[in-house]
Amino acid sequence: MVVNQIPFKEFHLLLLNQGLRVAIGPFNVCIHTAYKPLAEQLYKLYCHYRMAQDEIAEFHVRIVTERSFKNPFKKNVRFLLDGQSPFGSFPQEQALAVLEWGINLAIAVR
């Protein structure tokens, strides 16, 4: 099954709860996020990716939102790999790029 075979609501619930598992090349990645704008972008970007919900994920990644230290009225996003943050936070508008950079980093160092 590929991502575009499920409705967005189900896709978003997967990201919120147990995580969306997708096959990216030879790897299965489990993605979690509660940030809805990112979920909408991922639904479009990963529409033809194979889902791997019943398979083991090599990487568990998460995008979380947090308040900016410099401006408490602005939110940032942080990438987590297996619960650890390999780099600092970025403006929330860059959430998709941060996720992709993080996945690339995870694959490169393994």
Q: Report pLDDT digits (tens) over 82-104.
A: 999 999 999 999 999 999 999 99
Question: Residue 75: pLDDT above 80?
Answer: yes
Q: Which domain holds residue 74?
A: 3-109
What pTM did the predictor assign? 0.93
Report which DSSP code applies to 6.
S
**Domains in the chain: how many in total?**
1
Question: pLDDT value at position 70?
Answer: 78
CA quadruple 102, 108, 109, 110: dihedral sign:
positive
Angle formed at CA 83 by CA 101 and CA 66, multiple of 5 degrees:
75
Question: pLDDT value at position 73?
Answer: 82
Q: Report pLDDT digits (tens) over 11-52.
A: 999 999 999 999 999 999 999 999 999 999 999 999 999 999
